Structure 1
Amino acid sequence: MTVRVYLVAGELSGDILGAGLMRALKARFADVEFRGIGGPRMIAEGMVSRYPLEMLSVMGLVEVIKHLPELIRVRRDLRRDALAWRPDIMLGIDAPDFNLGLERQLREGGITTAHYVSPSVWAWRQGRVKGIARSVDAMLTFLPFEAEFYRRHRVPVAFVGHPLADELPLVNDREAVRKDLGLASDALILAVLPGSRANEIRFLGSTFLEAAERLCHRIPRLHVVLPAATAQRFTELERLLVEYPVLRKRMTLLDGLSREAMVASDVVLLASGTAALEAMLCHRSMLVAYKMAPATHWLAKRLVKTDWISLPNLIARESLVPELIQEAANAAAISERLEAIFNDAKGRQVLERRFAWMHETLQRGASARAAEAVEALIEGRELPQSVAPEIADAS
């Protein structure tokens, strides 16, 4: 019997996740068909894509409002298409603002639905979980604390592990990567990642570079590695570096290669976001600092319901890495905290072992586990329970 799976991905990261899930589903079902919206990777796996992936890649309030009539038309067409095709299951991959509404409509039409990649409902606007419960038969989460949140709210959930943890090795070779990047093996190396977005460079770029230059005066062996996320970020950072001549002599500006920079480093300075998770999965000590527009920060303080902003701390449920936010994220404070981390070699070693253990708890074969949950939903069975080991001190 042919199994029909309707998938809707909203951006390139969703295309990567969707392609991995499709491969895992083809390994479970002898005959499976895929339809919906996907990118080049999903199409290569056999997806019949109704629209280009870019159709849903709309960022920012103004852009969403501008494209809202078209997005409504696309969702209405997908609803008609899915109800006519009658898939065994529909999965929205990320893009919650678009997908949760579609999932709810299809579920009301008698189709089993699931959502792959939890929105940050545990952090802000927690009341959204009631709408999620009406939209999906199950939520598939990357992180264990997300699964705990849904269980508390009685939403069926499967913790599948994180694909990035599957991608990154449990053992990495710092010395080999330093050699590849032309970095001295005996240097103390700071990787600086101010972010991939223009606004992050605007709010954090100069602060991070000034902090690194201050640190150069304090630590003679320090070498700074600065990976630029895009060609545009490379140009912006080159322009900023003119103001920091001491730092410029003690640093390497890279075109991309952020992961290599983190592996080569002793300590990472970064903006909050996925980069903090990646640094954790590279098993490196870090300092997380973040600034935003004053009005955005004022609103965030009133809406966000969490004690931490960085994923390593959220996963561990404790303050493993320092976080400096808004006014506290100034060059003097950042350089002082970084100096303390560099001076505590034993503390860095303990944290690297802890991060390796946390990495192992998240490295669970996410695509295969997601496919296992999908199969259970299609067959009307209970979701497989995959509870992570307690993320305790592994030192």
Structure 2
Amino acid sequence: MNKPLRIMMVAGEHSGDILGAGLIKQLKVIYPKAVFSGIGGPRMLNEGFNSYYPMSKLSVFGLFEVLKHLPELLSIRRQLRHKILAEKPDVFIGIDAPDFNLKLERDLHQQGIKTVHYVSPTVWAWRPKRIKKLIGSLDALLCIFPFEETYYQQTLVPGFFIGHPLADQYEQPRETEQAKKTFNIRAEKPVLTMMPGSRLGEIERH
């Protein structure tokens, strides 16, 4: 009798929880008996995910907040690493949260665990040297923007474009004029988009 697929994941914030829940839902279609565990939020838990720690423990933002919680974050990552190596899942999937996940993925990959990172770090925009942390650490990097796959084709990182999860949920106006009509905005009016992020700390500070 085949054992159920065991998939361990880590999501560190609200947006990662949304992505993780969607990924679990799709994977269960292909692997209905798969077992999911690690660190996740309420949406992932609703899909049957078993979270070893509250996701809120990882949802810290800003230098001072990170420093304040650094000992606990390092302890959680260390304990989780031991647990993953002991359980030997079929694959580990880090969902965004690169500051927490990339080091964990490298350690696991070196120990023979298959590793996937979901959402490319913005190495193409800033801190490009982070790409060194990706090389040799991942079996796959799942990209949500098409240009990212092209970018990684010039490197040793196995990047694959899988689409943006919100693209299927909302109609995407491609032109400014069309977008203004869609949202009933007068053509001569300027539009300012505010995107504060998904972390409570970001919203409170900005």
Instruction: Please classify the TM superposition score into its range, dividing by the shorter chain length.
Output: 0.7 to 0.9
- 1:114 matched to 2:96? The reply is no
Distance 2:154 2:183 in 1: 37
* Aligned counterparts of 2:32 and 2:9: Cα–Cα separation in 1: 18
1:369-395: CA deviations, max 9, x gaps?
xxxxxxxxxxxxxxxxxxxxxxxxxxx
How far does the alpha carbon of each residue in 1:293-349 deviate from its partner, in whole angstroms, 9 at most, with x for none?
A: xxxxxxxxxxxxxxxxxxxxxxxxxxxxxxxxxxxxxxxxxxxxxxxxxxxxxxxxx
Seq. identity, %? 51
Q: Which residue of 2 aligns with 1:64?
A: 66
Q: 1:133 to 1:262 in 2, by over 3 A?
A: farther
Q: Secondary structure at the match of 1:264?
A: coil
Contact 1:143/1:161 (<8 A) preserved: yes
Q: Which residue of 1 aligns with 2:20?
A: 18
CA RMSD of aligned residues (A): 2.2
Map 1:216-295; keep pairs closer than 5 Å.
Answer: 263-265=183-185, 266=187, 269-271=191-193
Does the 8 Å CA contact 2:143/2:161 hold for their aligned counterparts?
yes
Q: How big is the shift at 1:112?
A: 0.3
Whether the aligned pair in 2 keeps the contact of 1:262 and 1:268 (CA below 8 Å) is no
Indicate the residue corresponding to 2:176 in structure 1: none
Residue 35 (structure 1) aligns with: 37
Distance change (3 Å), C-alpha of 1:274 and 1:168: farther
Q: Which residue of 1 aligns with 2:160?
A: 158
Separation in 1 of the partners of 2:182 and 2:85?
47
AA matched with 1:34: F
- Name the count of aligned residue pairs: 188
Aligned to 2:10: 8
Q: Find the structure with the greater CA-based Rg.
A: 1
What aligned pairs does 1:1-395 form with structure 2 within 5 A after superposition? 1=2, 2-169=4-171, 263-265=183-185, 266=187, 269-271=191-193
Q: Which has the higher helix share?
A: 1
Deviations 1:95-136 (A, max 9, x none): 000000111111111100010011110011212111111321
2:31 and 2:21 map into 1 onto residues whose CA distance is 15
CA distance in 1, matches of 2:11, 2:102: 12
Q: CA distance change for structure 1 residues 70 and 161 in 2, over 3 Å: closer, same or farther?
A: same
CA distance in 1, matches of 2:182, 2:73: 38
Alignment-derived partner of residue 368 in structure 1: none
**Structure 2 gaps, min length 5:** 174-179, 198-206
Runs of 4+ in structure 1 deviating by more than 3 angstroms, as ranges, are 271-275
> What is the one-letter code of the residue matched to 1:43?
L
Question: Aligned partners of 2:194 and 2:137: how far apart in 1?
Answer: 30
CA contact (8 A) 2:148 2:159 kept: no
Code of the residue aligned with 1:95 in structure 2: it is: A
Q: With structure 1 as the length reference, what TM-score do the two structures score?
A: 0.45
TM-score normalised to the size of structure 2? 0.85
* Cα displacement string for residues 171-208 of structure 1 (whole angstroms, at most 9, x for unaligned residues): 7xxxxxxxxxxxxxxxxxxx8xxxxxxxxxxxxxxxxx
Whether the 8 Å contact between 2:16 and 2:96 is mirrored in structure 1 is yes
The answer to whether the 8 Å contact 2:90/2:114 transfers is yes
Rounded to whole Å, the distance in 2 between the matches of 1:144 and 1:169 is 18
Q: Matched residues in 1 for 2:170 and 2:72: separation?
A: 38
Name 2:201's counterpart in structure 1.
none
Q: Give 1:268 shift.
A: 5.1
**Structure 1: gaps spanning 5 or more residues:** 172-190, 192-260, 276-395
What is the CA deviation profile of residues 272-306 of structure 1, one whole-angstrom value per residue up to 9, with x for unaligned ones?
Answer: 7589xxxxxxxxxxxxxxxxxxxxxxxxxxxxxxx
CA contact (8 A) 2:91 2:115 kept: yes
Does the 8 A contact of 1:11 with 1:54 survive in 2? yes
Q: State the AA in 2 paired with 1:27.
A: V
